[in-house]
Chains A and B, each alone.
Chain A
Amino acid sequence: GAVVSQHPSRVICKSGTSVKIECRSLDFQATTMFWYRQFPKQSLMLMATSNEGSKATYEQGVEKDKFLINHASLTLSTLTVTSAHPEDSSFYICSARDLWGTQYFGPGTRLLVL
C-alpha cells in the first residue's frame, strides 16, 4: 500500500519556539493532504486541509496564524506550530489522499512543549 512518512516522530521544545513537521507521500502524488490532532485518550480532529499550490483550509477554531501549513509540492506538506505553548502538546498526524480518494496516514509526530 501507499506510504506516508512524517518527520520528526517526536519533538520536545521550549514554550515560545516554533516547530516544523513534515509530511511526505513516498510512492504517490497527493494533491490534497490533511492535518489531524489527537489529544490523549481522544479521537482525531481535523485541523486543516492542505491543497498543493493553494492556501490551506482550516477547520473552525483552528488558528491559521498559529498553525502554518505549506503544501509546496505534490509529495510534501509542512505544518509549523508557531510560538508553541504547553497546550499545543499533542499527537499530530497527517494523511495524504491518492487519486482514488483513499487517505493514507503518516506515523504521527508527538509534540511536547515545556
Chain B
Amino acid sequence: ELKVEQNPLFLSMQEGKNYTIYCNYSTTSDRLYWYRQDPGKSLESLFVLLSNGAVKQEGRLMASLDTKARLSTLHITAAVHDLSATYFCAVDIRYSGGGADGLTFGKGTHLIIQP
C-alpha cells in the first residue's frame, strides 16, 4: 500500500521567511502533484512534477521531485500572508505499477503566515 507522508503537518511562520514542506512516499512513481486548499474550497492545482529532477517555480513557490529518494519538496520564499492555506502533495498511483489508479494524498500541511 502506498503511503505518502508530509511534514510538517502544521507550520506557523512570519512574513518574509523561507521554509520547505517535505513529501515522502513509499513506492516508485514518476508523477507527483502539489495542491493548495483554502478553507471550505476544493483543490487548486499548483504543480505537476513528471520526472526525476523536475523543478517548477511559480511566484514564491518552487517544487522539486527526486524519484530515487521518493521525495518532493515545496519551498516557500519570502512568505506573504496570502500564502496561508493547506498544502497537499499527492502521488499518482497509476505510475507506480500494480494496476491501481487514482491519487494518494498526504495529510496536508496547514500553513499560517503571520504579518
Question: A-side interface residues toward B, CB under 8 Å?
Answer: 1, 32, 34, 36, 42-46, 49, 57, 59, 93, 95, 101-108
Contacts and interface: CB of A to CB of B under 8 A. Distances in A.
Interface in B83-106: 88, 90, 92, 94, 101-106
A107 B104 CA distance: 19
A11 to B, nearest CB: 15
Contact of A46 (B45, B48, B104): B104
Interface residues of B, number: 20
A105 B101 contact: no
Contacts of B106: 43
B42 A46 contact: no
A103 B33 contact: yes
9 contacts: A42-B107, A43-B105, A43-B106, A44-B88, A49-B102, A59-B102, A102-B48, A105-B42, A105-B43
A57 to B, nearest CB: 7
Q: Is the interface of B mostly helix, strand, loop or mixed?
A: strand
Interface of B: 31, 33, 35, 41-43, 45, 48, 88, 90, 92, 94, 101-108
Q: Is the interface of A mostly helix, strand, loop or mixed?
A: strand
B102 A101 contact: no
A9 B94 CA distance: 29
Contacts of B45: 1, 104-105
